Chains A and B, each alone.
Chain A
């Protein structure tokens, strides 16, 4: 016994890891709040145009998304293709039946907004065909997806 214990080297106490879960949980909650679930796996390449007047789309549950872009899979060719849910559509005539099949209870096709997410280099013909198809089933509410330009 003595004040100066020179003989034995004291080991450094182990690092406290009790607060580590708290830090990770904080990160977790941040990501849970700041992000949203992915809607689909993208099958097409999308580069959305920019617009200064774009408004944030609220209430995404009541929105159907149609993606138009160049296929990521080279086997699908290089022409712009339409993606509905997780699959590439054969052509625009499938959009109408697809839209009708997605109807929610108590809402008609008229009530549900259709958001068109289109690559900026895609020609207007395919977009125009889809709009006509949607018009035929009274789904006239359209949102042209665009990134907000500051």
Chain B
């Protein structure tokens, strides 16, 4: 008599087990991908009342107001959200050629070896010999100039938008979050586009494809060349 063939293990119930697992995962997980716009809030600072707040020229600030009825007021003029991108671009580029034609938009300043040398020495002296409670702020200024120096070393003299050029966002308490995000989106888009154009100008790869770790130098240089300075006013109403 021949040896009996080993009987196959019944795999019919395996499907049921797998089904159970499958249903468990379907229930407990989501397909959602989290995306969003990243921003840093300004650090909280104790301000010394004796140190005067530096003057900021009107031309250096772009004020974007959104009211409770979701209407936009840019530099005191009523504007549709569709037109905001062009306005912000203009804010950055109006005087980019260095000729200072448009007195209502921020000035561009030439940055060369001499200015960097002088400013670095100035802030270094302030950090070491200036008032101790201001040392932190002065050190930050010095770091900014060191970044400018790195940029200068890489690409030579360049022109930079005024140090105090900034965009101010003002909201009211019933301004919808949707509109706020639309504004933030426009601001991000303009800066991303401009940095992209700078990349093309310098023969680098696209801004988006720069790696935050490997290409850190390049990203820091782009932050110097196209700064993103946004401040948000407290809600008054």
Contact = CB atoms under 8 A, between A and B. Distances in A.
Contacts, number: 159
Q: How many A residues are at the interface, by size bracket?
A: 35 or more
Given A34-B31, A54-B37, A135-B42, A17 B178 contact: no
A3 interface: no
A37 to B, nearest CB: 6
Contacts of B41: 131, 134-135, 140-142
A121 B159 CA distance: 41
B192 interface: yes
B29 A38 contact: yes
Nearest to B189: A53
A5 interface: no
Contact of A142 (B12, B38, B181, B182): B38
A25 B22 CA distance: 8
Contact of A49 (B40, B44, B181): B181
A17 B66 CA distance: 64
Interface string A135-150: 1101011111111100
Given A119-B177, A146-B181, A128 B38 contact: no
B34 A144 contact: no
Interface stretch (A55-63, A86-94, A99-107): A55-63
A57 B33 CA distance: 8
B22 A28 contact: yes
B99 interface: no
B15 A35 contact: no
Nearest to B43: A140
Contact of A144 (B15, B32, B36, B66): B36
A144 B36 CA distance: 5
Nearest to A53: B188
Contact of B36 (A27, A37, A145): A145
Nearest to A116: B36
**Which secondary structure dominates chain B's binding surface?**
mixed
A54 B43 contact: no
A124 B175 contact: yes
Contacts of A143: 36-39
A36 B33 CA distance: 9
Nearest to B38: A143
A66 interface: no
Interface in B1-22: 11-12, 14-15, 17-19, 21-22
B209 interface: no
Given A123-B175, A134-B41, A140-B43, 18 more contacts: A31-B26, A32-B29, A36-B30, A51-B184, A54-B36, A55-B36, A56-B35, A115-B34, A119-B177, A121-B178, A123-B177, A127-B177, A128-B171, A143-B39, A144-B37, A144-B39, A146-B36, A146-B181
Interface of B: 11-12, 14-15, 17-19, 21-22, 25-26, 28-44, 66, 68, 171-178, 180-182, 184-185, 188-189, 192, 232, 234-235
